[in-house]
Amino acid sequence: MNSPAGSGPILPLGDDDLHAYVDRRLSPERRAEVERWLASDSDAASRAAFYARLNADLHRSYDHVLAEPVPANLMPAPTHRRRVFDRRGPTLRHFAVAASWLIAGIIGGWSTHDLLVPPKTIERVVEVPGPAPTLTLQAAAAHAVFTPEVRHPVEVRADEAHLTRWLSNRMGKPIKAPILDESGWRLMGGRLLPVAETGAAGPVACQFMYEHADGRRVTLYMKSVEGEPSAFRYSEEREGMGVLYWMDAKLGYALTGKLPKEELKILARKVYDQFNS
């Protein structure tokens, strides 16, 4: 560094100073030092000139976007608006959801008691060797297809009242969307899916998707199965993607996500409890 004669710089001047100079992030004292440097170093001066012109040209290229009218679809939806402006909103909403669950649970429990055969050994998590059953393959495929979606991760959003009614009708049996908010997983919504084999209500399966505040997503996949209720089982379908699955008398469940097995197990337990409460 050629430090100019007279008042030498307190700290050596470097690239960071050039950037901070054009970005106007320097103290007046430091700024003066940099200007003395630039006066004596033409290479540094031309680089600083380029950086400054680049900033100006970025504005020239993109500032017109600032003036574009904001489309209505970027403004809050009515439901969001209410929550945005009333910070008590979520509490009241959760209360309402809880109440509706209570009612749904009572009705559902009455009409579905034959489904509620619990796994015999719920705490056991079994590593399944060899080719995984179709339930986990399908669940993993559906997970991989839909969780990356930004625009259409779900077909029907969680705040639409007919979500579970619709899926129950199509699946031919009562379907619940478990609430996992306490564990940090928010229900986004659900979708209907085709399967190759035909169950009691046709070739259908369904999927609920949940999202964590950090952006991770898990899915709960359900389809009709014939057979014995099973314990929790675990299968790693693809790199880092675990599937925890189990069966009751009429449905197979597969909880899929890029989560540690223990975390999946805790969530699966909550799902199981909610289907059987």
Q: Which residues bind another protein (CB under 8 A)?
A: 15-16, 19-20, 23, 25, 42-43, 45-47, 49-51, 53-63, 65-68, 70-71, 73-77, 80-81, 83-87, 89-90, 147-148, 150-151, 213, 215
Q: How far is the CB of 146 from another protein (least distance, A)?
A: 11
Specify the residue, 16 or 35, whose C-beta has the smaller distance to another protein. Answer: 16
Q: How far is the CB of 261 from another protein (least distance, A)?
A: 22
Specify the residue, 68 or 123, whose C-beta has the smaller distance to another protein. Answer: 68
Specify the residue, 76 or 227, whose C-beta has the smaller distance to another protein. Answer: 76
Q: How far is the CB of 11 from another protein (least distance, A)?
A: 14
Specify the residue, 122 or 141, whose C-beta has the smaller distance to another protein. Answer: 141
Q: How far is the CB of 38 from another protein (least distance, A)?
A: 11
Q: How far is the CB of 144 from another protein (least distance, A)?
A: 9
Tokens of 140: 């993993």
Specify the residue, 96 or 107, whose C-beta has the smaller distance to another protein. Answer: 96
